[in-house]
Amino acid sequence: MSETKRTEISSLGEFKLIDHLTANFAATNSSTIKGVGDDAAVISCGSLTPNPSPEERGGRMVKVVTTDMLVEGIHFDLMYFPLRSLGYKSVAVNLSDVYAMNATPKQITVSIAISNRFSVEALEEFYEGIQMACKKFEVDLVGGDTTSSNKGFIISVTAIGEANENEIVYRSGAKAGDLLCVSGDLGAAYCGLQLLEREKAVFREHPEAQPEFSNRQYIIGRCLKPEPRKDVIDFFRHAGIKPTSMIDISDGLSSEIFHLCKQSETGCMLQEENVPIDQETYHQALEFNVDPITCALSGGEDYELLFTIDPKDEKKIRDADDLRVIGKILEKEKGMKMITKGGNEIALTALGWDAFKPT
């Protein structure tokens, strides 16, 4: 090899790396409605049946496509991650991206690379988890690839969903004045993961010790078995709401707010006191000497939905148990800010999880 320039991947980080590598790719097919840069790509069908019903004529049906890769030792640790949960989660994280487009997932493909340390029985457990998710969210497993690896377990899932084109919600549609909203609560998966890591360390020192998970079932469940928010999409349809923008929270609230504001070319004002944090998360964070809001802002893997709505839909959102208005979209010039519980206005920084961050 000649002495050429070497730029470390970690110097760019995951998002800048993707932007850099795909910068020269232009979509040329008319069926590509949206390529790289949202939770999923959007593809037209350009297609017809001979006698469309009036209902079908209402909008052009489009497909959405999203894919995620999970790597042992990076995204999961089989010391505490049951294979059944891993199968379920591998599907769930992709369905979450489909829901974040306001679309309905219909098919998945699952590819795995596995070393010979895994038995057929271990893979059966993994596929049981996949099947649980397929049944619950009514998606079909339609393909995949199964191969060997020299080391570890690598999973690649692609999910395909559908929607009418006019139902699709992008990251880029937020407008100044819109309300910033979130489903569920945040930071729990991160606290659950930290707890599992702590008990793993304890177990290594003292293999006879029993893990200490009392009163922490919720946060551990949030880590091991995330639930994509199909119910939120169903609620939107039922309530007649179309969010102006949406993204799923896989890398932490602040990182997702950054994506949303960047692509919508807006600023925002987040109110700390409105960020939903579960009691278990709160107590676990304090036990770890971490401010709970930090877990919500920077902890990943919650798989909740972050979205914006027109202020006219505010009442409908306030009626929903599980949805919270957490801030407001501002003009771009006003920047991205947070009002703390103490009433101070501070700059919001993107501190999401980055697969390439040096540790």
Question: Binders of a copy of itself among 100-159, rule CB under 8 A?
Answer: 106-107, 109, 111-114, 116, 118-121, 123-124, 127, 131, 134, 138-152, 154, 156, 158
Listing DSSP states for 156-177 in one string gives: EEEEEEEEEGGG---GGG--TT
| Identity of the residue, 110 or 257, whose beta carbon is nearer to a copy of itself in the bound complex | 110
CA distance 68 to 91: 9
Taking CB under 8 A as the rule, does residue 166 contact a copy of itself?
Answer: no
C-alpha dist (Å) from residue 303 to 2, 3, 129, 284, 296:
44, 43, 18, 19, 12
CA distance 83 to 69: 16
Place of tokens 């057929």: 120
Place of tokens 């107590």: 283
Q: What is the smallest separation between the CB atom of 197 and a copy of itself, expressed in angstroms?
A: 17
CA distance 315 to 311: 8
Binding to a copy of itself (CB under 8 A) within 181-240 occurs at: none
| Identity of the residue, 114 or 232, whose beta carbon is nearer to a copy of itself in the bound complex | 114
Short-list 251, 196, 250, 197, CA closest to 226? 250
Kindly write out the interface string for residues 54-93 of this chain, putting x where it contacts a copy of itself by CB under 8 A and - elsewhere.
--xx--xxxx-xxxxx-xxxxx------------------
Q: What is the smallest separation between the CB atom of 118 and a copy of itself, expressed in angstroms?
A: 7
Q: What is the smallest separation between the CB atom of 125 and a copy of itself, expressed in angstroms?
A: 10
Kindly write out the interface string for residues 8-47 of this chain, putting x where it contacts a copy of itself by CB under 8 A and - elsewhere.
xxxxx-x--xx-xxx-xx-xxx-xx-xxx---xx-x-xxx
The total number of residues shown for the chain amounts to 359
Among 3, 5, 315, 345, contact with a copy of itself (rule: CB under 8 A): 5
Number of residues that bind a copy of itself (CB under 8 A): 90
Instruction: Count the neighbouring beta carbons within 10 Å of the beta carbon of residue 173.
Output: 18
Q: What is the smallest separation between the CB atom of 157 and a copy of itself, expressed in angstroms?
A: 9
| Identity of the residue, 20 or 204, whose beta carbon is nearer to a copy of itself in the bound complex | 20
Q: What is the smallest separation between the CB atom of 20 and a copy of itself, expressed in angstroms?
A: 7
CA distance 157 to 88: 11
336-339 and 267-271 beta bridge pairing: parallel
| Identity of the residue, 94 or 183, whose beta carbon is nearer to a copy of itself in the bound complex | 94
